[in-house]
Amino acid sequence: MNIDAGSFFILVGTLAAGGAGGYFASQKHLFEAPAPAPPPKVTEAPSAAPPSPSITAPAKPAAPVCDDAAGIPGPCPPPGYSAEEGGCGGLPTKRCNDFKQAMKPKVAERAVACLNALNPAERCDPMRLNLCGHQSLMSACQEPEDTDRDVIDAAAGGVTAVCQTVLQECGAAPLGPTLRDCRATLSGMSDLGRSKMALCMKTHCTDKGLLHCEALMDVK
């Protein structure tokens, strides 16, 4: 194969040009400026959580007002057999009526209900009848001292004033009541009951005391 010198150089030049072109084509990314990076993706900041509603503790319901003026005592038992017949006659009936007169309506309601729940033998026991009255008085609404502090005249029926009269009548008797005990007893009584209590204690402060004089209408 005879190749002249001119043709040889033309061929070499052509191959060289083609090879260089192929090289540059394959390495194009090394010579071109890199494409600009995409802008950073803007991530929206999470919106602030809505403020939680303020929680207000529910107001405590007001305590029910203690009121012994609202009450309807039940009927009293009829008189039973006389003592000669083995009974106690009208004792339960009388004490029941004492409760109704000497106590505030709601207190009397409880005392009468207690008396009516007794069996015949218990109704003939004066101590058992008195216990019904005492327990009812101890469950009465206690009158605040402020309502009586300015009461001077015991006849006005104020608890503190009546109790001061009772304490004066008892003097320094060792078995005499305290002001606290007297107030606890008289708070559940009507004005009539309080005046009867003061009269009874004038005579029986040292020998029988508050328990005997509670709701006792025929003071002796």
pLDDT tens-digit readout, 103-120: 999 999 999 999 999 999
13 has a pLDDT exceeding 60: no
Percent of the chain with pLDDT over 90: 38
DSSP 8-state symbol, 144: P
Amino acid, single-letter form, for residue 136: S
The segment with the largest mean pLDDT, out of 45-54, 147-156, 159-168, 190-199, is: 190-199
DSSP 8-state symbol, 102: H
- In which band, very low, low, confident or very high, does the pLDDT at 74 lie, cut at 50, 70 and 90? very high
37: CB partners within 8 A, 6+ apart: none
Res 168: pLDDT: 86
Output the pTM of the full model. Answer: 0.66
**Between 14 and 59, residue with greater pLDDT:** 59
The SS3 of residue 68 is: coil
For all residues of the chain together, what is the average pLDDT? 78
CA dihedral 88, 125, 195, 197 (to 10 degrees): 140
Supply 200's token pair.
């009874």
**Contact at 8 Å (CB) between 217 and 98?**
yes
DSSP 8-state symbol, 81: -
> Is residue 31 classed exposed, middle or buried when 0-12, 13-18 and 19+ CB atoms within 10 A define those classes?
exposed
**CA 176 to the chain's CA centroid:** 36
